[in-house]
Amino acid sequence: MNSLTTLPDISFTDKDPELILSEIISRYEKTAQVTLYQGDPVRLFLEAIAYIIAHQRSLIDYAAKQNLLAYATGYYLEHLGILLGVDRLKAAAATTTLRFKLSAPLDFPVLIPAGTRASDGGNGLMFASVEDVLIYSGDTYADVQAFCTETGEAGNGMIAGQIKYLVDPVPYIAGVENRSATTGGADEESDESLRERVQMAPESFSVAGASGAYEYWARTAHQDIIDVAVIGPEDEPGNVYVYPLMADGKLPSQEILNLIDGVLNDEKVRPLSDHVFVQAPDEINYHTELIYYIAHKSATSAASIQKAVAAAVADFELWQKSKLGRDINPSELIRMVMSAGALRVEVTQPQHTVLTGSQVAIADSEATVTFGGLEDG
């Protein structure tokens, strides 16, 4: 599938104010058989007209481009999407598993109603259980899935055990805690993500289990999915393995895997003969270690170059983990660091490593970046 970014730029109108003004004045002078000099009231009037025409042409060009997928934004993009049955994904709430606890076993069951809330007592966010759950006679706890009561990314990132305050008292319940980190919260889908899904939408028309179809449907499960690998091993006919990758190169949580599994195993999506397995990608770790040098002639800019080099290394590590199957490529690291202003770069780690489609390269620790000094360029 061709990338929209490789398409040539187009324009539906000529918007250059100077050319528009020149054309207007030239036609007026030819028709009226006069010469309009600077400061002439007629010329000033025509300059105002030229400004209005240039502004109108810009609006016409903008409106025309909103009919093209590569340029459309906002509601215009949503109107293009609906032609292919693609809606913008709404903001999603973070999820976790809450454990409600008794102080001691009882000889009768205790009901925790759906909607029972708990919080971390700090940022004001609360998580509510999604269904009724029972602590059975003789047991001391029960686990239940819970959603943040507010949508968006704010609910992400709470570690296990951080949510420990019961907001809605329940008889006999002595405590609560989250058993897993909160994940899955997302803001409304961005234009970039929606545009990519609209482009992929025709893949979903296939009912033969095409890889593009599985990739499209997997992306509909959550707006933070940035890449999907679909693999059907030749020695496992009928088995399809799907590996999603999240924004910023994060591995999917079990909650996200469950969401994708639910989408792909829908009877309207999965061919009857396929067996679909949704799994987290395999994490391939590497370490970044390098020495770089700056030219003597750039000595006065050394401090800013050092900051730029540090940013370039961070960008490399983000680039490396932002796509499945992307080989670990030290040449790209060298290019980025030199583009940041370094004269020369010696990379000790990582070594070039070929990855499969189900793997993602993630740095195992903070990069070791050493400034080697100044050299003659």
138-180: pLDDT as tens digits: 999 999 999 999 999 999 999 999 999 999 999 999 999 999 9
Cα angle 194, 60, 6; round to 5? 45
> For the residues 212-224, what does the mean pLDDT come to?
92
Tokens 């502004």 — which residue? 55
Q: What is the pLDDT of residue 2?
A: 59
Mean pLDDT calculated for residue range 221-231: 94
Q: Which percentage of the chain shows pLDDT scores above 70?
A: 98
Q: How far apart are CA 61 and CA 55, in angstroms?
A: 10
Predicted local distance difference test score (pLDDT) of residue 208: 66
Neighbours of 332 (CB within 10 A): 15
CA 246 to chain centre: 7
| 294: pLDDT strictly greater than 70 | yes
- How far apart, in whole angstroms, are the C-alpha atoms of residue 65 and residue 34? 39
**pLDDT one-digit tens code per residue, 233-279:** 988 988 999 999 999 999 998 889 999 999 999 988 888 889 999 99
The answer to whether 347 and 331 have CB atoms below 8 angstroms apart is no
Overall average pLDDT of the 109-137 stretch: 94
For the cut 60, the answer to whether the pLDDT of residue 347 exceeds it is yes
Buried b / exposed e across 176-213, counting CB within 10 Å, b at 16+?
Answer: bbbebbbbbbbeebeeebbbbbbbbbebbeeeebebbb
Alpha helices in 321-374 (DSSP H): 330-339
State the maximum Cα–Cα separation within the chain, in Å, rounded to a whole number.
Answer: 106
Res. 126 pLDDT band, cuts 50 70 90 = very high
Q: Could you give the 3-state DSSP secondary structure of residue 326?
A: coil
Structure tokens at 251: 């591995």
Tell the residue number behind the tokens 């707006």, with chain if given.
Answer: 223
Q: Which helix (H) or strand (E) holds 42?
A: helix 41-65
The two three-digit tokens of residue 243, written as one number: 């590996």
Distance from C-alpha of 82 to C-alpha of 96, rounded to nearest angstrom: 32
DSSP tag of 328: B
Across the chain, the runs of DSSP E, i.e. the strands, are: 93-102, 110-112, 117-119, 126-129, 133-135, 141-151, 165-166, 173-178, 225-231, 239-246, 275-278, 282-286, 289-295, 344-349, 359-363, 368-375
Indicate the pairing of strand 173-178 with strand 275-278: unpaired
Count CB neighbours of 263 within 10 A: 20
**Mutual angle of helices 211-219 and 191-200, in 10-degree steps:** 150
For the chain, the residue count is 377
Domains of the chain are 4-65 (no CATH), 93-178 (no CATH), 206-280 (3.30.300), 284-375 (no CATH)
Cα of first residue to Cα of last residue in the chain, in angstroms, is: 43
Of 122 and 22, the one with more pLDDT: 22
Mean predicted lDDT score pLDDT of the chain: 93
Output 246-251 pairs: Cβ under 8 A, ≥24 positions apart.
246/222, 248/318, 248/321, 248/322, 249/318, 249/320, 249/321, 249/322, 249/360, 249/362, 251/280, 251/281, 251/283, 251/360
Q: What is the pLDDT of residue 57?
A: 96
Pairwise CA distance, residues 315 & 129, whole Å: 39
According to the model, what pLDDT value does residue 1 have?
Answer: 54
pLDDT in tens, 46-104: 999 999 999 999 999 999 999 999 999 999 999 999 999 999 999 999 999 999 999 99
Mean pLDDT for 352-365 is: 96
| C-beta neighbour count of 315 within 10 angstroms | 16
